[in-house]
Amino acid sequence: MVKMRRNPFSRKKSKSKKETAPPEERGEPAPEHHHALYIELRSKALEVSVAEPFMKSLLLKTFLHPNVHNFNSAISRTIASRLISSCGNNPTFCAEQMTSIFEDAMKSPILEYGSTMADAVCEDILACTRRDPACKSGLEIVLFYKGFASLVCHRAARRHYNVHNSNDGSASSRYVSLWLQSQASAAFGVDIHPAAEIGSGVFFDHASGLVIGETAVVGNNCTLLHGVTLGGTGKVSGNRHPKVGNNVLIGAGSSILGNITIGDCAKIGAGSIVLRPIPHGATAVGAPAKIIGWAKENDPASMIDNTLDNVVEIGAQGEESPGVSTTSSDVFTDDSSTENGEKNSESAKDVEVENTDEGSDVSKMGKSIKDTEEETQMKIERKSREKSNTRQHSHRTLCLFRRSHTPRRDSLSYSNLYDNLSDLCTEAEIGEVYLELLKKEKKKDFVCKREAAINFPQVIKKYTNLDTEKCELARQRLLPNGQFCGPT
């Protein structure tokens, strides 16, 4: 007699108060919510089987299978069938075994970003139907959308992965999760590590080439298009992947690298390479990504503004702009204008030296040549110091906001803010503070020192974790006698 292996999810354990509480108290949708969606999907499946007889054989293996009786079993059998069909003529597991793996995960009480798998899958389907104009019914999503199927595979793999990492979990669960990851990657072209944490209501549009690393986090109601990478920066171990907030839109082909935060309701333009934290509500684009403004809508992930039309641009003077334009005249860093000014000054001095009066005597000419040599040596030393400072602060030049004007003496630059607060706040907090100061400006073009002096105390309390003493220290650094100090 063959001894059956114990189901890793069926182990007896005392349930916590949160797990035994009603779904409404746990912040989860009621079971009726799942049942209503199941009835809708099944009705559509019956309708399609009659209208399109060619699809009947597929539906009998999935939604209309005799053993499908509820939402959990319908999703489990459908995704299992899709995964099995991609394994070729000799699948590793039979259909019943694969269905059991998904059903166990759907019943698991393990939470991912605050939701059970059944609740998250339900919200994923609803998110797809709302955001994809090409989608006509939820049945299309479950049967054909590879982004949805890969997300279900990840959610099941994560439950098995967490069982393996628990004290009494079976070692086989780790390999089940890794097998699910591998098969989903081969079948759907989406590679998500089982340990990654993904919220509910997430939409992977097209999904091909999407990669999410081990320690990455994606919040609720996010939209990620094809080719998005949430990756690390190299061979560094530990917490090394991005943390994406809620309601975030990430455009096609974007790469977000390193343990950085992308704030709630942010928008990342297509093809961007994000290497530094992005404040909440900000819009970033480019390689490396620059913050060009902030989103007009409260939920960018649902609006899916891929062309970045709904953006209040930095430098737009509060007017609505038809889109993002990055011309060669835009100034992105404070150092660039200074460097250009020095070059122009140097060129003018060189021309002045070359146009020395030819009628001057030999002694004056010798003195002029000697002075020129001394000036040249001073220039070389100054440039050497500038290069050293540039290497020392190269990390912050990747995070500067886009600027569309020549820096003014009465403006506060991001560089100045960073230099004064970098030992008190995180880079993400400094970005939040600067963006909020920029939003409060009427012209939305630069942060005026006079206005910043008024708004800074309340802004730094709102967007940082500094206590009262450190907030006062930051104020004294930037607001001596009510004025900002330091070079801009």
Q: Is the distance from CB of 63 to CB of 80 less than 8 angstroms?
A: no
State how far the Cα of 195 lies from the Cα of 257, in Å rounded to an integer.
17
Over residues 251-294, the pLDDT tens digits come to: 999 999 999 999 999 999 999 999 999 999 999 999 899 999 99
Q: In the structure, what pLDDT confidence band is assigned to residue 481 with cuts at 50, 70 and 90?
A: low
Over residues 87-104, the pLDDT tens digits come to: 766 667 788 889 999 999
The whole-number average pLDDT for the span 306-327 is: 62
Over residues 330-362, the pLDDT tens digits come to: 333 344 344 444 444 454 445 444 444 444 554
Q: Is the distance from CB of 75 to CB of 117 less than 8 angstroms?
A: no
| Token pair of 379 as six digits | 């220039």
Q: Is pLDDT above 50 for 131?
A: yes
Q: What is the pLDDT of residue 379?
A: 64
If phi > 0 it is left, if psi is from -120 to 50 it is alpha, else beta; for residue 111 that is beta
Over residues 176-186, the pLDDT tens digits come to: 999 999 999 99
| Token pair of 266 as six digits | 């942010």
Q: Is the distance from CB of 119 to CB of 28 less than 8 angstroms?
A: yes
* β strands within 253-373, DSSP E: 255-257, 261-262, 267-268, 273-274, 282-286, 289-295, 311-313
Over residues 359-392, the pLDDT tens digits come to: 455 455 555 555 666 667 666 665 655 554 444 4
Q: In the structure, what pLDDT confidence band is assigned to residue 465 with cuts at 50, 70 and 90?
A: confident
Over residues 11-59, the pLDDT tens digits come to: 334 444 444 443 434 444 446 789 999 999 999 999 999 999 999 999 9
